[in-house]
Chains A and B, each alone.
Chain A
């Protein structure tokens, strides 16, 4: 299982003699570098909570060297101390893991000063915190809106765009991962590596807040972000007024292929958790809410596809009004 290790500067404790109050901490770990300035006096603890870096690993023990420098900034003479050590993070432990390092900073003023004040030594306890978690990647938004994957039973499973997944491993040119949302949540799926070496999955997707939309039964319009879209429903199978969850798309609906102008016409959003009522492009309705302005379907798709309600299943809420 591929995991991330997030390393944070948790706190600094200033003990021993006072060598000054303007402290700079520099931390260098596995190519990541943090520099932070802090005013702190001896005998106190400063909470920092600053990220040093985020690392990916598929090993049970993440081990790396670390260089920590503490500098007391003076106008003429900086007082410096540093330490080189290593940290070992157990990636099977999801609890925060703490590592404390002691760095001595000896005052290094002029010879005259030393005669009067002697050799002062400050002791800084620098505590780092390691958090272990599963890596989050996302399905891409490709041409027809579906990433075709394979499950453990060798069934084809299509995932819509921007589904958060946890990658587990790579084997025989395929990348394995587990979706954490949508109808395929928790299943182990795989996709080939694109061109044999790069992942189809993408980083740095930021889900957006849940979308609120309305459907007016009497006006036959779908209202989203202040825009109105001509729509249709089935008068013999009427909608009840009220609120419904709009779900993350479930599987490609072939009925959308007859509307090529809709572009991603096979990506339908189920309304409510039971039954088979969807929001989709279409001329007529047998119970769904069909967006008859099929050329504008992508406006709705783009608004919904990245939105999340926070329940791992829905993208927003539909209010059906008179």
Chain B
């Protein structure tokens, strides 16, 4: 009798133990599925757009990426951010044509070349190189600006400080990148730094003026190895870039 009771108790404990383990595992699995990001590599499709306005003597050529991430609703945000960035460049070009171009009958041309410098399940990094040719003005006006999108948090990174361990690390990295890009520059530059991560590196530009050249516009660009700022980056971001 005691033996039977003992076997029944053991069997009951085993059954409840199994059930408890199964439920516990099931609950954890559900929670895990909600928190863990399932990485999906974005797909990039390209589109060429040409806008001409003969009356205003303006022609704009743009190659624009369309980012597609399956089973995700961040597509719209990324593509809206790209569109907004291009709109800014376009609007400022048109304003400059109206205000400062010399009307000699020729067409003012804006080219916007877009490159995806990094595309991971976590980050999309895009460079916009805009080249402006104004009629009647001899100029070499090419600027490189950037956009970084955090796919996981569904937001465009404004200053890019989120890529670094903290804001102090960001400030150190910005100072180093600026010194590096200006290292070989002769003159008195006064420029604002822009950067974006790329595979194994960082793309940097510095846009401003040089007062030793009478306030001439300057736009410097440089690709730097990741080693320049490696020590300041967030480990997760570093893993993505390397």
B138 located at the interface, meaning its Cβ lies under 8 Å from any Cβ of chain A in the complex: yes
Q: Are B161 and A284 in contact (CB under 8 A)?
A: yes
Q: Are B171 and A236 in contact (CB under 8 A)?
A: yes
A209 located at the interface, meaning its Cβ lies under 8 Å from any Cβ of chain B in the complex: no
Known contacts: A255-B194, A283-B161. The answer to whether A150 contacts B168 by CB under 8 A is: no
User: Which of A148, A149, A183, A255 has a CB less than 8 Å from the CB of B211?
Assistant: A183
Between A and B, 30 residue pairs with Cβ closer than 8 Å are: A148-B96, A148-B99, A150-B99, A151-B214, A151-B215, A154-B136, A154-B137, A154-B139, A156-B100, A157-B215, A187-B215, A234-B168, A236-B172, A237-B175, A250-B190, A251-B190, A253-B192, A254-B145, A254-B192, A254-B194, A254-B207, A258-B158, A258-B159, A276-B190, A283-B159, A283-B161, A284-B159, A284-B161, A286-B171, A286-B175
A218 located at the interface, meaning its Cβ lies under 8 Å from any Cβ of chain B in the complex: no
Q: Mark B84-100, 1 if CB is under 8 A from A, else 0.
A: 00001000000110111
Distance, CA A157 to CA B172, complexed state (A) = 32
Q: Mark B124-162, 1 if CB is under 8 A from A, else 0.
A: 000000000000111100000100000000000011010
Contacts of A286 in B (CB 8 A): 170-171, 174-175, 193
Distance, CA A192 to CA B158, complexed state (A) = 35
B205's nearest neighbour on chain A, judged by CB, is A254
Q: Are B167 and A284 in contact (CB under 8 A)?
A: yes
Known contacts A154-B136, A155-B217, A284-B171, then 15 further A-B pairs from the complex at CB < 8 Å, ordered by chain A residue: A148-B96, A150-B99, A150-B100, A154-B138, A155-B139, A155-B216, A156-B99, A183-B215, A184-B215, A232-B167, A234-B168, A236-B172, A283-B159, A284-B170, A286-B170
B88's nearest neighbour on chain A, judged by CB, is A257
B208 located at the interface, meaning its Cβ lies under 8 Å from any Cβ of chain A in the complex: yes
B117 located at the interface, meaning its Cβ lies under 8 Å from any Cβ of chain A in the complex: no
Distance, CA A148 to CA B95, complexed state (A) = 8
Contacts of B88 in A (CB 8 A): 257
The interface of chain B, by Cβ under 8 A from chain A, is 88, 95-96, 98-100, 102, 136-139, 145, 158-159, 161, 167-168, 170-172, 174-175, 190, 192-194, 207-209, 211, 214-217
User: Which of A149, A234, A255 has a CB less than 8 Å from the CB of B100?
Assistant: A149
- Chain A: number of interface residues, binned into ranges: 35 or more
A259 located at the interface, meaning its Cβ lies under 8 Å from any Cβ of chain B in the complex: yes
Within the complex, the shortest CB–CB distance from B212 to chain A, in Å, comes to 13
User: Which of B170, B175, B194, B209 has a CB less than 8 Å from the CB of A250?
Assistant: B209
Contacts of B174 in A (CB 8 A): 286
A257's nearest neighbour on chain B, judged by CB, is B88
Within the complex, the shortest CB–CB distance from A176 to chain B, in Å, comes to 13
Q: Are B96 and A156 in contact (CB under 8 A)?
A: yes
Q: Mark A215-232, 1 if CB is under 8 A from B, else 0.
A: 000000000000000001
